[in-house]
Structure 1
Amino acid sequence: MVRRQPVRVRLTVVYAGLFVVTATILLVVVNLLLGAALKSEVAMFEPPEPPKAPADAMSDTEWIQDPEARRRLGDLPGQVLAYQWDVTVIVIAVLGVVSLGIGWVVAGRLLRPLHRITATAQRLSLSNLHERIALDGPRDELKDLADTFDDMLARLERAVDSQSRFVANASHELRTPLAIQRAAIEIGLTDPSPEQLVQVRGQLLDASVRSERLIDGLLLLAQSERGLDVREPVDLDELVRQAAGELDAGDRTMVVDVEPVRVRGDSVLLTRLVANVLQNAIRHNHPGGTVQVCLFADGLLVVRNTGPEVPEERVGELFEPFRRLHSRTRSAEGVGLGLSIVASIARAHDAEVSAVPNPGGGLVVSVRFQRDR
């Protein structure tokens, strides 16, 4: 395999080559034009025929008749051009050496930001993702490249931090049901009575259901984060009606108003998205409250519920895994992955999800899909 020369060497050769070629063309053209002009001027001194006047009547302004002078005058253009060509060769050689030196310096200055970007990339690891290139200077292609690299590092840092928190929260949530199961087995099954067996059985079942629900949520979240391989037409209005009809709203009143909308995506994931939004609206609601579901023809899904007051500055936390407002979830009904799964599925379908507090209590969750035209 042939090893390529460094970029600095190649740039230097290109700069020097272009300069030498340009200078050579310029000097050659100048020499040719100068030779033609000299020959034209010398030709004006040669008379077409010898003059008729007597020799003693000729003045200094008459045609040159001395054969030696005429020969020397005729040789003058060739001598001047020969000297000019010698000088041209020397000048081109000197300019070639100088252009190589200048090209090497210029290439080094141009590539200095790239060396800085490379050095930063080589230093990076999970422990110092906070470092940035922070390239100064005028805005050009290299500055844009450095800024893009810094933006990528910022996104990567946020992703790593989010993943670290997610792993820690998932580990904690999985530890809770396992601890319950262990305590129930160690304490409840030590010389148990029939009543204790029933109680331990219930505790073990609850812990098992909680673990199963958490694992299912994690798998679904991982699937939606991976993105979609195939997109198929999905009638979103039928999907919303089906999800609303299958959920048990209890004493809450659910009002469904949908318009025909077709989107492209995965029907299973979209069903889960709608179900999670509706389950969240039902679960976090007042007894006897309402859930209003609206799907507009432009692809906007809006789910509004009554419920406790939601601080506006805490709404963003609802879409983080294992978060319910500003505290970690501990309830047996859910594991705190509902809205985070909604946000992940929405991103996989190029949809925009947002939430705002509902005046009077509750939450308004909006998901804007791109219609299948």
Structure 2
Amino acid sequence: MRAVLHSERARLTVLYGSLLLLAGGGLIALINILLRNGLYTRISGAVMTTTIVPAIKGSPPPTVPGYKLPVPAEKLDTGATPTPEQLEQWRATRNLTSAVEQATLHELLIVSLLALAVFAVLSIWLAWWMAGRVLRPVGVITETARRLSAANLHERIGLRAPPGELKRLADTFDGMLDRMEDMVGAQRRFAANAAHELRTPLAVQRAAAEIGLAGEPSPQKVARIRSKLIEVADSSQHLVESLLLLAVSEEGLEATEPVDLADLAEAELAGLQGTVPQDLLVVRDLEPLTVAGDRTLLGHLVRNLLANAVRHNRAGGRLEVATSREGVLTVSNTGPVIEPGDVPRLLEPFRRRAERQHTAGEGAGLGLSIVASIARAHGAELTARANPAPGGGLMVRVWFPAEPPVARPAEETPGA
């Protein structure tokens, strides 16, 4: 009972009921005031017109307090003086008028109070019903939110109601559930893929140690196994570092500073000189572009885009890097023809165009997902588009906002 009294429905009931009672009480008060001001005149006029006026023809108008002649004075013959009987009749008529007025007003007051009491009960019931109707969608949203868990994120409110604030609230809640379901699904896929990616090199290391080094292997075999173990360890270390970088970029920015993306792209291209094939044509169109952000994360963004464009290129292919004053960084390459429907999947962690072969130099499938995460941290918009045949490949564009991103507050060190 206490919860009901402190509920929003009770508050709305009090509000609606008070407004209805105020309106009803105001209407009754207005009627009583208007009738009280004019009732005496109307009653006295009606009574005296029928009883007094015929008797005073030829007599002057009597002086009776509160009495107004029902006919114009010029129509009366004022040459005669009223008799005592006439004056007594006027007094009796005046008393009768006052009694009728008092009785009428008293009856009107009683009826008004009874009507107001009935109206109060109906107002409270109507207000309670109206509040329940208005808050019914909120109850549906509350019950749906209470039932939700990781096992039934597919449930939706699906409120069927005319357009309005509560309809928009329910649709917004459904949209939030869509995003939550996508995020939970992505986290599950990420965890499963990360476990798979880490399990494979560990299995290779274990097999190399148990099988390759079993018995008394020759020095040449030991050298091959050692090289293989180092290669697998390097791949695992790269994967772990990529996962850490992805986690850091998802947390947002601690601080921002002006960064010239054109100079950063030039420096990253120079760092890739040893890995770029001789027959790969590199085209630069680097206009000055300064953005606010984290220099280290932006360096990883440019480096991953360039490394991805080089790794997935073809012989005699082309790599284009461009920055514009409008705040756009563009990296495009030639390569295998990609279906347009497969492009969004490439931005998810551990997604590749082809199955992983676990060969040397093969990426972990985190490059573009790291780029997308860093772009989000900087408030930038990333789009990817498959280049048509015969050139193929992928074009990635990153639009940086004119306003600098909001840096997250630095965590305080305990005891500082």
* TM-score, with length taken from structure 1: 0.91
The structure-2 alpha-carbon separation of the partners of 1:135 and 1:372, relative to structure 1 and needing over 3 Å to count, comes to: closer
* In 2, Cα distance between equivalents of 1:355 and 1:70: 97
Does residue 245 of structure 1 match 2:270? yes
For residue 49 of structure 1, report the CA deviation from its aligned partner.
Answer: 2.7
**Residue-by-residue CA offset, 1:238-293 (whole Å, 9 max, x unaligned):** 11111111113232332322001111111111110000000011111123433121
Work out whether residues 303 and 366 of structure 1, in 8 Å CA contact, stay in contact via their aligned partners in 2.
yes
Identical pairs, percent: 46
Q: Give the secondary structure class of the aligned counterpart of 2:89.
A: coil
| Partner residue in 2 for 1:284 | 312
* In 1, Cα distance between equivalents of 2:267 and 2:403: 20
Letter in 1 for 2:393: G
Work out whether residues 317 and 326 of structure 1, in 8 Å CA contact, stay in contact via their aligned partners in 2.
no
Q: Give the secondary structure class of the aligned counterpart of 1:136.
A: coil
* TM-score, with length taken from structure 2: 0.82
Work out whether residues 321 and 340 of structure 1, in 8 Å CA contact, stay in contact via their aligned partners in 2.
yes
| Partner residue in 1 for 2:175 | 151
- Bigger drift between 34-43 and 231-240 goes to 34-43
| Partner residue in 1 for 2:149 | 125
For residue 230 of structure 1, report the CA deviation from its aligned partner.
Answer: 2.8
The structure-2 alpha-carbon separation of the partners of 1:49 and 1:353, relative to structure 1 and needing over 3 Å to count, comes to: closer
Does residue 163 of structure 1 match 2:187? yes
| Partner residue in 1 for 2:203 | 179
> Which has the higher Rg, Structure 1 or Structure 2?
2
Q: Give the secondary structure class of the aligned counterpart of 1:190.
A: coil
* In 1, Cα distance between equivalents of 2:356 and 2:88: 112
Q: Give the secondary structure class of the aligned counterpart of 1:132.
A: coil
For residue 66 of structure 1, report the CA deviation from its aligned partner.
Answer: 4.4
- Bigger drift between 326-335 and 235-244 goes to 326-335
| Partner residue in 2 for 1:101 | 125
For residue 326 of structure 1, report the CA deviation from its aligned partner.
Answer: 5.3
Work out whether residues 331 and 395 of structure 2, in 8 Å CA contact, stay in contact via their aligned partners in 1.
yes
* In 1, Cα distance between equivalents of 2:357 and 2:349: 10
Does residue 92 of structure 1 match 2:92? no
For residue 372 of structure 1, report the CA deviation from its aligned partner.
Answer: 5.6
* In 1, Cα distance between equivalents of 2:382 and 2:35: 76
In the alignment of these two chains, the number of paired residues is: 368
* In 2, Cα distance between equivalents of 1:331 and 1:145: 51
The structure-2 alpha-carbon separation of the partners of 1:222 and 1:68, relative to structure 1 and needing over 3 Å to count, comes to: same
* In 1, Cα distance between equivalents of 2:29 and 2:228: 98
- Bigger drift between 340-349 and 275-284 goes to 340-349
Q: Give the secondary structure class of the aligned counterpart of 1:264.
A: strand
| Partner residue in 2 for 1:344 | 373
**Residue-by-residue CA offset, 1:137-158 (whole Å, 9 max, x unaligned):** 2111111111111000011101
The structure-2 alpha-carbon separation of the partners of 1:149 and 1:35, relative to structure 1 and needing over 3 Å to count, comes to: same
Aligned positions of 1:1-373 closer than 5 A: 5-42=6-43, 45=48, 48-49=62-63, 53=80, 65-191=89-215, 192-247=217-272, 248=274, 249-251=276-278, 252-325=280-353, 327-328=355-356, 330-333=358-361, 334-359=363-388, 360-371=391-402
**Residue-by-residue CA offset, 1:36-94 (whole Å, 9 max, x unaligned):** 011333565595438763779x9xxx998343332111232222212211112111111
For residue 133 of structure 1, report the CA deviation from its aligned partner.
Answer: 0.5
Letter in 1 for 2:11: R
Q: Give the secondary structure class of the aligned counterpart of 1:365.
A: strand
Superposition RMSD in Å = 2.4
For residue 136 of structure 1, report the CA deviation from its aligned partner.
Answer: 0.5
Work out whether residues 262 and 372 of structure 1, in 8 Å CA contact, stay in contact via their aligned partners in 2.
no
For residue 34 of structure 1, report the CA deviation from its aligned partner.
Answer: 0.5
Letter in 1 for 2:372: A
The structure-2 alpha-carbon separation of the partners of 1:349 and 1:52, relative to structure 1 and needing over 3 Å to count, comes to: same
Stretches (4+) displaced over 4 A: 42-48
The structure-2 alpha-carbon separation of the partners of 1:308 and 1:64, relative to structure 1 and needing over 3 Å to count, comes to: farther
Stretches of structure 2 that go unaligned for 5 or more consecutive residues are: 53-60, 65-77, 405-416
Stretches of structure 1 that go unaligned for 5 or more consecutive residues are: none
* In 1, Cα distance between equivalents of 2:402 and 2:92: 97
Work out whether residues 44 and 97 of structure 2, in 8 Å CA contact, stay in contact via their aligned partners in 1.
no
Letter in 2 for 1:32: I
The structure-2 alpha-carbon separation of the partners of 1:70 and 1:172, relative to structure 1 and needing over 3 Å to count, comes to: same
